[in-house]
Amino acid sequence: MKLAYWMYAGPAHIGTLRVASSFKNVHAIMHAPLGDDYFNVMRSMLERERDFTPVTASVVDRNVLARGSQEKVVDNITRKDAEERPDLIVLTPTCTSSILQEDLQNFVERAQLEAKGDVMLADVNHYRVNELQAADRTLHQIVQFYIEKARKKGELPEGKTAKPSVNIIGISTLGFHNQHDCTELKRLMADLGIEVNAAIPEGASVHELKNLPRAWFNLCPYRELGLMAARYLEAEFGMPYVDITPMGVVETARCIRKIQQIVNAQGADVDYEEFINEQTLYVSQAAWFSRSIDCQNLTGKKAVVFGDNTHAAAITKILAREMGIHVVWAGTYCKYDADWFREQVSEYCDEVIITDDHGQIGDAIARVEPSAIFGTQMERHVGKRLNIPCGVIAAPIHIQNFPIGYKPFMGYEGTNQIADLVYNSFTLGMEDHLLEIFGGHDTKEVITKGISAESDLNWTREGVAELNKIPGFVRGKVKRNTEKFARERGIKDITVEVLYAAKEAVGA
């Protein structure tokens, strides 16, 4: 048992649901108790999704505990198959079904006999993998399923596309700025003269999956999601993949050079150096920003970085290599992939921290007192408490991290966005200090607003006590309204009764 207030990565089924519901016309059915369909709320709220989230539960209740699911799961699958005609139904186990140990595979096979669409069981164990690992596995599983299906039917297309082409693997729902990254990567590919053969799983149809081998190579922008599928495609079809995250000026260039090498090896003749040079020096503002006197002021400032592998590693490199900021420590909560992280960031920071304990991270922040934090929403709140500004760079995230404006983290526009994020975090911090030194913008205390400055009214002790129970941000308004009410009626003593009578009268 572990005492926990907060977790960085969610439970396994969240990963499976993120991948399944990213595809078009794929439905997930969770084998779960009532209330575990919270995923739908998150998707509907955070992504402001206009469509119903294609996730339902086959509810585990007392009857299921006593007698097993029996026909229930099968019925729910065939019912959903008839109602929505999905291409694929993914039966998703949860922590509850992990311990019930029902033969879900058997249910899937029985349901498949009747269902028009495909049915599969997500192969994830709640107690062994987290959200990110489960997402990676599920994507691999679905890709493999449809490649094998096509192969069996002899429908696997032969050969490659005429022009160089790419599959972008790993864009998913509820991913940090994934939609914007996807758009930016597609633009980048268009600029490089590379066709996008497919982008999975977000917005893709499972019918497209059999065409994946037609691409010349795969691009996995995120370390956490897509690599398993890419490795599978490499093993099956000899498809090379690029796993360099194009985040930051240097890494974007490195990613493009790797792409160049891969497509040239397959007979293309491209030279992207000119493009990289043009973008770096004149299109993206980030390289110029590093040179400008603004950024000079950031030299040697202390920062700490924490997040998932992809973002924490990339941001660490950007801060240290491209902006001259002193990264005191960089950390990740992807413990299962810690070696990769260490290898990536070791030379760019003093210390590497691998943990999924937010308390330890909070302490580590307090210990070094950085000028800025780059982390998740949790670190933002630590920053608030310690009065240190924080830029959010990775999940877990809140609704404000799903902006509707265009805010990629990847590609050349991404470098601009990151420069803004970093710069704004630091200046705010400096401004704060200046304010502290000079005693604030406006030291004159506002005593009262409006009409009740010199009050002839008497608040009774109970009245004041009750008033103090009202949340601070509306208390002033309630007080003014109550006094106005009392004055109008010639009431001298304000009691609890008067307070609430006033509320009833004016809706204070």
Partner 1 sequence: MTTAQPEALNFECETGNYHTFCPISCVAWLYQKIEDSFFLVIGTKTCGYFLQNAMGVMIFAEPRYAMAELEEGDISAQLNDYEELKRLCLQIKRDRNPSVIVWIGTCTTEIIKMDLEGLAPKLEGEIGIPIVVARANGLDYAFTQGEDTVLAAMATRCPDKVSVVEAEKNERNAIQKLLNFGKKKEEVAEEESEYVNHPPLVLFGSLPDPVVTQLTLELKKQGIKVSGWLPAKRFTELPVIEEGYYVAGVNPFLSRTATTLMRRRKCKLIGAPFPIGPDGTRAWIEKICSVFGITPQGLEEREAQIWEGLEEYVKLIRGKSVFFMGDNLLEVSLARFLVRCGMTVHEIGIPYMDKRYQAAELALLEKTCKEMGVPIPKIVEKPDNYNQVQRIYELKPDLVITGMAHANPLEARGINTKWSVEFTFAQIHGFTNARDILELVTRPLRRNNSLKDLGWDKLVKEEAKI
- Give whichever of 65 and 435 is closer to partner 1, judged by the CB atom: 65
How many binding residues for partner 1 (CB under 8 A)?
64
Give residue for tokens 């089924």.
13
* DSSP 8-state code for residue 207: G
Q: Which of 11, 93, 170, 408 binds partner 1 (CB under 8 A)?
A: 11
Separation of first and last alpha carbons in the chain? 47
- Residue 4 in the binding site for partner 1 (CB under 8 A): yes
- Residue 151 in the binding site for partner 1 (CB under 8 A): no
- Residue 95 in the binding site for partner 1 (CB under 8 A): yes
Q: How far is the CB of 334 from partner 1 (least distance, A)?
A: 15
- Residue 366 in the binding site for partner 1 (CB under 8 A): no
Strand-pairing partners, residue 119, are: 89
Q: Are 224 and 243 in contact (CB under 8 A)?
A: no
Q: Cα angle at 222 between 166 and 217, to 5 degrees?
A: 20
Annotated catalytic residue, options 103, 294, 350, 493:
294
- Residue 162 in the binding site for partner 1 (CB under 8 A): no
With residue 352 as reference, give the H or E element that holds it. strand 351-354
Give residue for tokens 């996995």.
220
Q: Which of 20, 59, 166, 276 binds partner 1 (CB under 8 A)?
A: 59
Residues numbered 129-148 forming contacts with partner 1, rule: CB under 8 A: 130
Torsion angle in degrees (nearest 10) through CA of 464, 468, 472, 478: -40
Tokens of 86: 């999905």
- Residue 473 in the binding site for partner 1 (CB under 8 A): no
Residues 316 and 327: their CA atoms lie apart, in Å, by 7
Q: Which of 438, 401, 403, 407 is nearest to 420 (CA)?
A: 407
Q: Other CB atoms closer than 10 Å to residue 157's CB: what's the count? A: 12
- Residue 61 in the binding site for partner 1 (CB under 8 A): yes
Q: How far is the CB of 97 from partner 1 (least distance, A)?
A: 10
Tell me the residue type at 352: V
Phi, psi of 437 (to 5 degrees): -65, -40
- Residue 67 in the binding site for partner 1 (CB under 8 A): no
Give residue for tokens 């990613």.
255
Q: How far is the CB of 397 from partner 1 (least distance, A)?
A: 10
Phi, psi of 441 (to 5 degrees): -65, -45
Q: How far is the CB of 135 from partner 1 (least distance, A)?
A: 14
- Residue 112 in the binding site for partner 1 (CB under 8 A): no
Residues 302 and 426: their CA atoms lie apart, in Å, by 10
456 catalytic residue (yes or no): no
Write the Ramachandran bin of 140: left for phi over 0, alpha for psi from -120 to 50, otherwise beta: alpha
- Residue 114 in the binding site for partner 1 (CB under 8 A): no
- Give whichever of 195 and 357 is closer to partner 1, judged by the CB atom: 357
Q: Which of 68, 70, 99, 367 binds partner 1 (CB under 8 A)?
A: 99
Q: Which of 34, 162, 446, 453 binds partner 1 (CB under 8 A)?
A: 34
Q: Which of 40, 211, 285, 460 binds partner 1 (CB under 8 A)?
A: 40
Just list the catalytic residues.
Answer: 294
Residues that bind partner 1 (CB under 8 A): 1-7, 10-11, 13-14, 32-38, 40-42, 44-45, 48-53, 56-57, 59-62, 65, 76, 83-85, 94-96, 99-100, 126-128, 130, 378, 381, 384, 396, 398, 466, 469-470, 496-497, 500, 503-505, 507
